[in-house]
Amino acid sequence: MFGFSIQKLIVLAAIIAAVWYGFKFIGRLDKARKHAAKLTRDGARAAAGAAPAAETEDMERCEACDAYVSARDPASCGRADCPYPG
């Protein structure tokens, strides 16, 4: 009456298995993606920690040429009246 045949049960089992392994596969991809994102974040943080001077730097204005030079390591603009060593 309901027609439960062995073929239908096998197909049903195959569908359930496909969904089950599909979710496992998606979960594994998501875990790999999160791991990669964490590595990228850690790498960016390590790079920032290694060279903080590259992120921001105080500048000061040259009186002679109005150019902004690094306050930590000022360099001359090349003009004779530039107050910075060059």
**From candidates 9, 35, 64, 71, binder to Zn ion by CB under 5 A:** 64
Other CB atoms closer than 10 Å to residue 64's CB: what's the count?
14
- Which secondary structure element, helix H or strand E, spans residue 9, and what is its range? helix 6-50
- 77 lies in the site for Zn ion, by CB under 5 A: yes
DSSP state of 32: H
Which residue, 38 or 79, is less far from Zn ion as judged by CB? 79
Other CB atoms closer than 10 Å to residue 62's CB: what's the count?
19
Which residue, 3 or 78, is less far from Zn ion as judged by CB? 78
- 65 lies in the site for Zn ion, by CB under 5 A: yes
Which phi and psi angles does 67 have, rounded to 5°?
Answer: -80, 145
**From candidates 73, 74, 82, 86, binder to Zn ion by CB under 5 A:** 82
Q: Three-state DSSP class for 54?
A: helix
**From candidates 10, 44, 62, 85, binder to Zn ion by CB under 5 A:** 62
**Interface contacts to Zn ion, rule CB under 5 A:** 62, 64-65, 77, 82
